[in-house]
A and B are shown apart, each in its own frame.
Chain A
Amino acid sequence: MPTDTKRVRGPDVSQSPVLLGYKPAAVLASRGPREDGRQRDQVDVRPVFVRCGLVSQAKGSAYIEAGNTKLISCVYGPRETDRKDETDMKSGRLTTDVRFAPFSCPERVPWIQGSQDKDLSLMLHESLQPAVCLQRYPRSQIDVSVMVLENSGSALAHAVTCASLALADAGIEMYDLVLGCSLQQVGSSYVVDPSYLEENGWRCNSSESRGGLTVAFLPSLNQISGLQSDGEMSEETLTAGVRTCIEGCYKLYPVIQKVLTKAVRRAAPPST
């Protein structure tokens, strides 16, 4: 395993003192209201807090907070590409980078990008690429980086939303905003925008089939740009799940629009 010798590494196994006194629910109830009081089988997404333009060094940036999931995204560029190949000449290149802060998960994660981060980066790239007008940026590269500050579930879905917001804040031309929503299916019922426990706590118990689904959606074009599913899901529940996720995205849309117009207005007061 690669190690970073330039950083002071914490012990391999360490837990936040808050979490030491914390016992995960042995069996997550698969009936009744969810732990945080939201409704099961309904498009009940967590309320989000979103801001644009926090990182002054970046061309554009965004911060999103949904429940305890906190992410920050930065966009740099368009800048000259370091690597050259034929496709770059006609259209730009989009690079994505998702990282988990060491303190983001209940268990400490290393600074070095793991396979999970790389998977998420790839998925983020897939979701964002169709939305960006890359042919307007020949010979250049746009870098998107997302840092997960606290992972309380649905990190990928919120990373997609956050990154597209940062791109729009950077003034990168896009066909549409990209919104993300995820869902966790438990047997015949589902939870939208699952928390960390709802996402990961199921491995130990239950014989019911379970699966996770994340959808990246372009609301104005009415297109799905990214779909990621794991676990076990039947065809009907999957299609129903996708529809539910789209509904969840539409719930997010007005909030994102409002934040973006607010950011534009703050950058340029309408009096000028």
Chain B
Amino acid sequence: MSPMKLCVPGESLCSEGDCNPGAGVYLRHGYIYSSLAGFVLKTTEGEKLPVISVVRETEAQLLPDVGAIVTCKVTSTNPRFAKVHILYVGSTPLKDRFRGTIRKEDVRATEKDKVEIYKSFRTGDIVLAKVISLGDIQSNYLLTTAENELGVVVAHSEAGAQMIPISWCEMQCPLTHAKEFRKVARVQPEYLEA
């Protein structure tokens, strides 16, 4: 394999007609320029123009975006919403802490008015959720668990043991056999990345 071409921000890579811009590049006056310091990568798919992008060995910092599946940890709950810390975006761990909120009406898709946060999440639960909004000035990232595949994946009982899901809304402690309410996720392999 020939050594890959290296580039620095602002370096002209090719003209717009030769390639489609991918990640780590930008388009200006019909030319594609690099916006990162990294390796130039060209990928060809079928008959289309090759996609040119600039990649770095260390993964570029991802930020939670609308529609992204995130893994988060519940830090506090109250009757209206649960506060969480976002730990992963997809399968990429975040370097910094980002805060998010799951509102009561976003916990599940049906019977929204009967949702009780205390019966859905507890502090310390690991939750799969989807970003629905980046939020406004007052609020943080808004998240939802209103899908079967989203919800609590890991929870610990009062006895401290990791609980086993027994239905979509209940989990059981293997030590005391006590049942606790949770909005349980039906974990799908494509979501199970973290």
* A residues adjacent to B (C-beta < 8 A): 59, 77-80, 84-86, 89, 131, 133, 137-140, 168-169, 171, 173-177, 218-221, 256-257, 260-261, 263-265, 267-268, 270, 272
Proximity string of chain B (52-67) to chain A, C-beta cutoff 8 Å, 1 when within and 0 when not: 0000111011010000
* B residues adjacent to A (C-beta < 8 A): 3-4, 6-12, 24, 26, 28, 33, 35-39, 56-58, 60-61, 63, 95-99, 134-138, 140-141
Least CB distance from A80 to B in Å reads 5
* Inter-chain contact B39/A175, CB cutoff 8 Å: no
Residue among B35, B61, B98, B136 making CB contact with A59, cutoff 8 Å: B61
Distance of A173 Cα from B54 Cα, bound (Å): 10
Residues of chain A with a CB closer than 8 A to B8's CB: 168, 177, 256-257, 260-261
* Inter-chain contact A176/B10, CB cutoff 8 Å: yes
Least CB distance from A64 to B in Å reads 16
Residue among A139, A176, A218 making CB contact with B135, cutoff 8 Å: A139
Residues of chain B with a CB closer than 8 A to A168's CB: 8-9, 36-37
Residue among B10, B57, B60 making CB contact with A267, cutoff 8 Å: B57
Q: How many A-B residue pairs have CB under 8 A?
A: 102
Distance of A272 Cα from B39 Cα, bound (Å): 12
Distance of A263 Cα from B99 Cα, bound (Å): 33
Least CB distance from B13 to A in Å reads 11
Distance of A133 Cα from B60 Cα, bound (Å): 14
Residues of chain A with a CB closer than 8 A to B61's CB: 59, 77-78, 171
Given A79-B96, A80-B99, A270-B3 in contact, is the A175-B56 Cβ separation under 8 Å? no
A-B contact pairs, 23 of them (CB 8 A): A59-B95, A78-B61, A80-B99, A84-B137, A84-B138, A89-B135, A89-B136, A138-B134, A139-B63, A168-B8, A171-B56, A171-B61, A174-B10, A175-B26, A177-B8, A221-B28, A256-B8, A260-B37, A263-B37, A267-B58, A268-B57, A270-B3, A270-B4
Distance of A139 Cα from B7 Cα, bound (Å): 28
* Inter-chain contact A177/B10, CB cutoff 8 Å: yes
Given A137-B63, A168-B8, A220-B11 in contact, is the A173-B137 Cβ separation under 8 Å? no
* Inter-chain contact A221/B4, CB cutoff 8 Å: no
Q: Is the interface of B mostly helix, strand, loop or mixed?
A: loop
Distance of A86 Cα from B136 Cα, bound (Å): 8
Least CB distance from A59 to B in Å reads 7
Distance of A173 Cα from B28 Cα, bound (Å): 15
Distance of A218 Cα from B11 Cα, bound (Å): 11
Residues of chain A with a CB closer than 8 A to B7's CB: 261
Distance of A79 Cα from B137 Cα, bound (Å): 16
Of all chain B residues, the one with the shortest Cβ separation from A142 is B61
* Inter-chain contact B26/A78, CB cutoff 8 Å: no
* Inter-chain contact A264/B96, CB cutoff 8 Å: no
* Inter-chain contact A268/B39, CB cutoff 8 Å: yes
* Inter-chain contact B35/A133, CB cutoff 8 Å: yes
Distance of A86 Cα from B140 Cα, bound (Å): 13
Residues of chain A with a CB closer than 8 A to B141's CB: 139
* Inter-chain contact B38/A77, CB cutoff 8 Å: no
Given A133-B35, A171-B37, A173-B35 in contact, is the A268-B56 Cβ separation under 8 Å? yes
Of all chain B residues, the one with the shortest Cβ separation from A167 is B9
Residues of chain B with a CB closer than 8 A to A175's CB: 9-10, 26, 28, 33, 35
* Inter-chain contact B24/A173, CB cutoff 8 Å: yes
Of all chain B residues, the one with the shortest Cβ separation from A265 is B6
* Inter-chain contact A177/B38, CB cutoff 8 Å: no
* Inter-chain contact B96/A78, CB cutoff 8 Å: yes
Distance of A169 Cα from B37 Cα, bound (Å): 7
Given A138-B63, A139-B134 in contact, is the A174-B9 Cβ separation under 8 Å? yes
Distance of A175 Cα from B12 Cα, bound (Å): 11
Residues of chain A with a CB closer than 8 A to B135's CB: 89, 139
Residues of chain A with a CB closer than 8 A to B98's CB: 80
Residue among A89, A138, A256, A272 making CB contact with B57, cutoff 8 Å: A272
Residue among A77, A79, A137, A261 making CB contact with B37, cutoff 8 Å: A261
Of all chain B residues, the one with the shortest Cβ separation from A88 is B137
Least CB distance from A136 to B in Å reads 8
Distance of A185 Cα from B165 Cα, bound (Å): 76
Beyond known contacts A80-B96, A268-B56: 12 more, CB 8 A cutoff: A59-B61, A79-B96, A80-B98, A89-B135, A138-B63, A139-B63, A168-B37, A171-B56, A174-B35, A176-B33, A264-B57, A268-B57
